[in-house]
Chains A and B, each alone.
Chain A
Amino acid sequence: SAVISQKPSRDICQRGTSLTIQCQVDSQVTMMFWYRQQPGQSLTLIATANQGSEATYESGFVIDKFPISRPNLTFSTLTVSNMSPEDSSIYLCSVDGGSGYEQFFGPGTRLTVL
């Protein structure tokens, strides 16, 4: 299984600011994803982070609000832009090795927006 780290593990931010979350994997992986878990809720997919091209966003999520980078096969960033209290959530990255492989999740970034 892949070892995934995220930075920061938690943060408290002011309304209107932006935060960039980093996801690092210890091996090259085909697929990387970003999920959001709002308080008391389940996980929702934000986007697929594509290596070398623009991310693919799910319905309800837009690039201006959640810009994503994936410069190589082991690293990705998610930025939460112009934050509001409604963005307070746990943000998790995940990796998938492809067909026949299970998906693994990072430890998450717990974001609180005041």
Chain B
Amino acid sequence: GIQVEQSPPDLILQEGANSTLRCNFSDSVNNLQWFHQNPWGQLINLFYIPSGTKQNGRLSATTVATERYSLLYISSSQTTDSGVYFCAVELDDYKLSFGAGTTVTVRA
């Protein structure tokens, strides 16, 4: 099956810092989503981004489908950005295959 790899596995940031999270996938996919899982376990949709670049406030994402990777940028990080960030690729029949996640800790 498809492999979805996220890096780095853990990231510690000082408040105000910028960071980049990466998601590599091993085969062509229909779509790609980024999620943020907060400390209560809720999965929050960040981006639905099969290709191109999107921005939402301090977050932006870029997917280069031909090279099979996606990047999530966090700028001017805040403590509320802490949590686990997952990328998930959409396979046939709308099933999602998740990466292992990047755990982000933002320190005040």
| Contact-residue size bin, chain A (C-beta under 8 Å from the other chain) | 20 to 34
> Which B residues, 54 to 108, have Cβ-Cβ distances below 8 Å to chain A?
86, 88, 90, 93-101
B105 CB, min distance to chain A CBs, angstroms: 15
Residues in B with CB closer than 8 Å to A48 are 93, 95
Partner of B94, one of A1, A37, A98, A107: A98
A2 CB, min distance to chain B CBs, angstroms: 11
Interface contact A107-B42, CB-CB below 8 Å: yes
Assuming the contacts A105-B43, A107-B41, asked whether A42 and B100 have C-beta atoms less than 8 A apart, the reply is yes
| Contact-residue size bin, chain B (C-beta under 8 Å from the other chain) | 20 to 34
Alpha-carbon separation in the docked complex, A33 to B33 (Å): 16
A9 CB, min distance to chain B CBs, angstroms: 10
Residues in B with CB closer than 8 Å to A108 are 41-43
Of chain B, the residue at the smallest CB distance from A1 is B45
A103 CB, min distance to chain B CBs, angstroms: 6
Q: Does A96 contact B (CB under 8 A)?
A: yes
A-B pairs, 6 with minimum CB distance: A102-B48, A105-B43, A96-B94, A42-B98, A43-B98, A108-B41
What residues of chain A have their CB less than 8 Å away from a CB belonging to chain B?
1, 31, 33, 35, 37, 41-45, 48, 90, 92, 94, 96, 98, 102-105, 107-108, 110
